[in-house]
C-alpha cells in the first residue's frame, strides 16, 4: 500500500480535508494520511467536518497527529501547505507544496472555495499517480 501524506501546520483543516478527499477516491493500492508540524494539543476544526459532510464525507480522525520522520519516510509523496521547511528531513525530495489558504477569517463561500480547490488538487494528484 502506497501512502500520500498531507501535512499542514496544525493538522486541523486543509490536511484533514485532503486526506478524506483522497481516501474517498483513491485507486486500489493507495491511501492517504495527514499530520501537522505543530499539531500537539490542537483540535480538528469543526468547519472541516461541516464542509466534508456537505459532499457526503466525514473526518475519520479524532485528534490531529504530529508529523514524524517515520511518516515522512514511509510516504510515497508528501503534500505540504506552506510548511515544507518545518517538516522532518526527507520530505524535500518527494514533496509538493499546495498554496491553499487556511480557514481563519474566511466566509462560508470562501471556505467552500477552499474545499473545491482541495478537491481539484486531489483529483489532479490521483491522475498523476503511477499504476
Q: Read off the pLDDT of residues 60-105 as tens digits, 9 standing for 90 and up.
A: 888 999 999 999 999 999 999 988 788 877 888 899 999 999 999 9
Residue 69 lies in a domain: yes
Contacts of 41 (CB under 8 A, 6+ apart): none
What would the mean pLDDT of 15-23 be, rounded to a whole number? 98
Can you give the pLDDT at residue 67?
Answer: 96
Number of CB atoms found within 10 A of residue 89's CB: 9
Domain count, the chain: 1
Enter the pTM of the model: 0.95
Q: Is residue 81 part of a domain?
A: yes
**Assigned domain for 34 exists:** yes
Considering the domain boundaries, does residue 41 fall inside one? Answer: yes
Helix (H) or strand (E) holding 4: strand 2-8
Q: Is 127 helix (H, G, I), strand (E, B) or coil?
A: helix
Residue 115 confidence (pLDDT) above 90:
yes
Give the strand pairing for 30-36 and 77-80.
unpaired
pLDDT exceeds 90 at position 9: yes
Amino acid at each position: 500500500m502506497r501512502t500520500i501524506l498531507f501535512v499542514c501546520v496544525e493538522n486541523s483543516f486543509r490536511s484533514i480535508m485532503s486526506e478524506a478527499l483522497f481516501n474517498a477516491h483513491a485507486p486500489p493500492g493507495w491511501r492517504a494520511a495527514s499530520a501537522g508540524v505543530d499539531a500537539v494539543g490542537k483540535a480538528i476544526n469543526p468547519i472541516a467536518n461541516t464542509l466534508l459532510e456537505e459532499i457526503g464525507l466525514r473526518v475519520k480522525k479524532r485528534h490531529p497527529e504530529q508529523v514524524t520522520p517515520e511518516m515522512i519516510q514511509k510516504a510515497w509523496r508528501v503534500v505540504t501547505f506552506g510548511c515544507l521547511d518545518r517538516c522532518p528531513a526527507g520530505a524535500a525530495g518527494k514533496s509538493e507544496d499546495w498554496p491553499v489558504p487556511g480557514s481563519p477569517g474566511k466566509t462560508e463561500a470562501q471556505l467552500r472555495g477552499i474545499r473545491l480547490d482541495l478537491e481539484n488538487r486531489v483529483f489532479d494528484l490521483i491522475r498523476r499517480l503511477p499504476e
